[in-house]
Amino acid sequence: MGEAADPALAAVQTATAKGRVAPPMSWRTRLSVLAAGYVTDATSRADGTVNRRLLGVLDKGVAASAAPRNGVASRDVTIDPAVPLRARLFYPCAAPTAADAEAEAERPAAVPVVVFFHGGGFAYLSAASPAYDAACRRIARHAGAAVLSVDYRRSPEHRFPAAYDDGFAALRFLDDGGPDVPGPGAPPIDAARCFLAGDSAGGNIAHHVARRYALDPSAFSNLRLAGLIAIQPFFGGEERTPAELRLVGAPIVSVPRTDWMWRAFLPHGADRDHEASSPEGATAGIDAAAAAAAAGFFPPATVVIGGYDPLQDWQRRYCDALRGKGKEVRVLEYPDAIHAFYVFPEFPESRDLMLRIKEIVAGSSK
C-alpha cells in the first residue's frame, strides 16, 4: 500500500496501538477478516496499479446458480455489450416441482428490485466474489426481492466517473425492460419499486447514481427509486477525522489503504475534497434551490454506521449533508460493528441488518 502521508496519523499510532480497535471475534472470523485485508495489500502496487492476475487467484469468483439455493436462483446478464458491462441477477425462486413440468404454473407477483454495488475501494472484488455472491443471495431471500449486482468497471484502469456511469446504465437497463427472469416460479421485476444499495465504495456509487437520477428523473419512463441503502459508504477528505486517528489498526480499513484507493479512483491531480469523495460535494445540486422540482426525486436514505469503522465520521457528515439539503435520512448505528461486518454472517449485526433491509423493501409495497 501507499505510505500514510499525514504526520498527525503517525503521531497517534503509538498512543492508540494498545487501544481496542475491534470487537471480540472468534478465531475463524478473525482469520476471514485478516484474509480480506491481505488480499488488498498483496495485490496493490506502489505505482497505483493492481496485480489483477494475483487478485484473480486470491479472489476466485463463484458461478451463478440457475438451481435455487436457499430459495434464491441467480444468473449473469449483460447490461451493455459495448462496455462490456455485466451484472449478476439474484431472484427468489422456488425449486421446480413435478406439477411444474406437467403444466405451466401461475406466475408469481412482481417483486421489487435492489440494484446493488459491491465494496472494494472501487478497485477490488466483483459481483462474483464469494462474499458478495452470498450477501446478495441473503438480501434477495430476506427481502423477497430481485437483486441486480452490478459488475461495474474498476479503478485504476477505469477512474471516476466510470463506476457511476455503469450504475446509471443499470438503471436505464431496468427502465427499458431489464432482464428476463425465466423458469417456473420466477417472479417478474417491478422497476417502479427500485432500491439502490451498496457497501463502502458501493455505497458511494449508490449515492452518486441516486444523485444523477434525481437531477434528471424525466429520463425514466418506468423506473422509480423508492430508497437508498448506503452501508458504511466510502466518503473522505483531506483532513484526518477523530475516528480515523482513534481506530488505527482496525480491521479491513486503514488510512494508508483508503488513501491509495482514492488516488487510484479520482481523476489524476484531484485531491480527496473532490465531489466524488467529499460528502458536501457529493450532495451538491440535490437541494430545492439548485434542482427545483427534481429535488423531490432523491430517494429516502438509510445509512448504516459501525462503531469500529474508521470511516464513521465521514458517514455522519454525509448524513448531515443530506439533511442540510432537506432529504430524509435514517441512520442505523451498530456500535460493535467493523467495516463490512454484514458480509460475515456470524456477526449478529449482520442478521439484524438483513431484517432491516427486509423492512425497508417491504415498505415499498404499502
Under DSSP, the state recorded for 266 is S
d(CA 111, CA 360): 14
**List 74, 129, 200, 254, catalytic entry:** 200
200: annotated active-site residue: yes
Which contacts of 74-77 are long-range, i.e. CB under 8 A and separated by 24 or more positions? 74/133, 74/136, 74/137, 75/179, 77/148, 77/179
**CA distance between the termini of the chain:** 48
Give CA–CA dist 30/165, Å, rounded. 36
Per the DSSP assignment, residues forming a β-bridge with 117 are: 150, 198
Task: Residue 143: name the closest of 79, 234, 229 by CA.
Answer: 229
Q: Which helix (H) or strand (E) is 9 found in, with range? A: helix 7-16
Please report, for residues 8, 9, 14, 233, 339, the alpha-carbon distance to residue 246 in angstroms, rounded to integers and kept in the order given. 11, 9, 11, 19, 15
Length of the chain in residues, anyone? 366
Map residue 315 onto helix, strand or coil: helix
Q: 309 catalytic, yes or no?
A: yes
Query: In sequence order, what are the residues at sequence separation of 6 or more whose Cβ sits closer than 8 angstroms to the Cβ of residue 35?
Result: none
CA distances from 276 to 52, 160, 209, 322 (A): 24, 8, 11, 15
Q: How many Å apart are CA 72 and CA 92, to the nearest integer?
A: 4
Catalytic residue among 44, 309, 313, 350: 309
Q: Which residues form the catalytic set?
A: 200, 309, 339
